[in-house]
Structure 1
Amino acid sequence: MKEIALGVLASLFFAVTFILNHSMELEGGSWLWSSSLRYFFMLPFLLVIVASRRGLTAVAKEIKTQPKVWLLWSSVGFVLFYAPLTFAAAYGPGWLVSGTWQFTIVAGVLLAPFFVQYIDGKVIRQKIPLVSLLISSIILVGIILIQIPSMKYVSLESLLFGIFPVVIAAFAYPLGNRKMMDVCNGRLDTFQRVLGMTIASIPVWIVIAIYALATVGLPSVSQMIQSLIVGISSGVIATVLFFIATDRVHNDQGKLAAVEATQSTEILFVIVGEMLLLDVPLPKPLALFGIATIIVGMSLHSYYTTILKKKSSVVLQTVTKDRIKE
């Protein structure tokens, strides 16, 4: 439950991303700057945190050992995650993008076969946890329900641009996160890993910023301030909290799916935030039902992980003891 609580707390800070990205789009800010500025602002804060913990040398050593691997998976986990999210913000309110983003819970479960464990010198490919997949499917139904009301008011082109980029981000984020956990293999703590991934992705963000400068010019002061807030809230606080939670359970695909499922609570924070700050109206009843379905799915993930697995463990121990007595 500690890891799930960390995931929910991270979701609160992650919600700032969707609210302010929508705000920047309403003000005419480019998604190119919204995405790249976040990581530019994250970097100095992470450097100070890791330096104060005397961890910079270890980060530099790890990146130098496998620079191409760090560049690849950091770009997947950060660039292919955040650039599509900011792009999608131009085509719908934050709660709609946030709701679609919950597909990452299903994506995280489906990614299990791409990872292996080493047990007694043998390579064992991880399997998709079927119960977690079933529960995640409930969340997927909720995602579909919140999209239906929007289909009546927006063009097909806008709907596709608002959904497909988010689906790409939904796969990229857990894939990059998990791959880098494997690459680091416990040699770096969460702060060091986030810093390393930020540094490794900076070359791509520089290219995006140069393109933005050439096409849309400099960002406004308002966009820079809001990007700074996003960088601190979502980039530093939320990312570190979430990575701590996933680090603790990364060897158990069921528990990992449950922690990733806590991201579904983001949508509640986004709805309230947009209503208070941006005067966005309350979602339609069908969308609200979809949101409730997502929350139910997340709750089932938590119940399965914390209650049912514990019962299964107790039963297994009892059976083992009985066999020993026999």
Structure 2
Amino acid sequence: MTYDHLGRTGLEVSKLGLGTMNFGWVTDASTSLDLLDRAVEEGINFVDTADAYGGPQSPDMEQGYGLSEEIIGRWLAQGGGRRDRIVLATKLYQPMGTGPNDRHLSAYKIRKAAEDSLQRLGTDHIDLYQMNHVDRSTPWDEIWQAMEQLVREGKVTYVGSSNFAGWHVATAQQEADKRHFLGLVSEQSLYNLTARTVELELIPALRHYGIGLIPWSPLGGGLLGGALRKADSGRRSSPDFLAAVERHRSQLERYEALCADLGERPADVALAWLLHNPAVATTIVGPRTPEQLHQTLRAPHLNLSAETLRELDEIWPGPGGEAPEAYAW
């Protein structure tokens, strides 16, 4: 496994991070524990979860809420130095109930959400506490004051964001600077060969402020993982997936042919393309089995040539570069 700094911090994280959204829902508890063991054995030290993971993320369907964190807590409780071998990241924002203060980023919610996550995880600190969405109704003074308190108490070490726009990142960081607070160290966003909008303004903002990018859905919901073969074999038969395959069929044919010429799995090429970008600190993979996890380990060591990168840009064109040059002079 290879490692990189998380943004401008001294913290090093594995280039592949274990995403645990499926824990307790798609992947049963026993397999989830095995996945955690295998990840650490393979050198993965970044484990990403959220308070709402473990079931349908809906305020009216509370069953499963917190289950992913609870499973990680069970794994940590086995001891053997497990806690010190991982960088533990979780998130808040999603509704954890139907009450008016069970969601978003008020100081009230931040305090309660952190305490609840710590209890489920069975630990005394969260290494990276991520805001899962921007809260347009709560002032940054309130948000940062609450986060600062958690840092002072030793319950949180670093703060990150997720699903922020470039100007949200800039605003958050400017307000943190006024308070002489470290502010954001990471941003977790949708980014893959099929979804490159973040190249316009978000990535330039992250680079300016020294904030590490953590892509989620790096395989585009499975499209970049050998979708034509999976669709033809019936392994991914949902109507939405099949419709996406048909919508992108010509691109997928070129992409999978390129991967075949390289002698590499499409999933590995997609991950390697992300990891070649210096803005990317780590990328989230969400395997359902230890075997699937093992298959991803080639990607951090796969070097794509300049010619291959150009071909990928032709197949999956981005937004034209960074703003404003992407759409103006």
Identify, as 1 or 2, the structure richer in helix. 1
- TM bin, normalised by shorter chain, reads under 0.3
Identify, as 1 or 2, the structure richer in strand. 2
Alignment TM-score, normalising by the size of structure 2: 0.25
Q: Which has the higher contact order (CA 8 A, sep 6+)?
A: 1
Alignment TM-score, normalising by the size of structure 1: 0.25
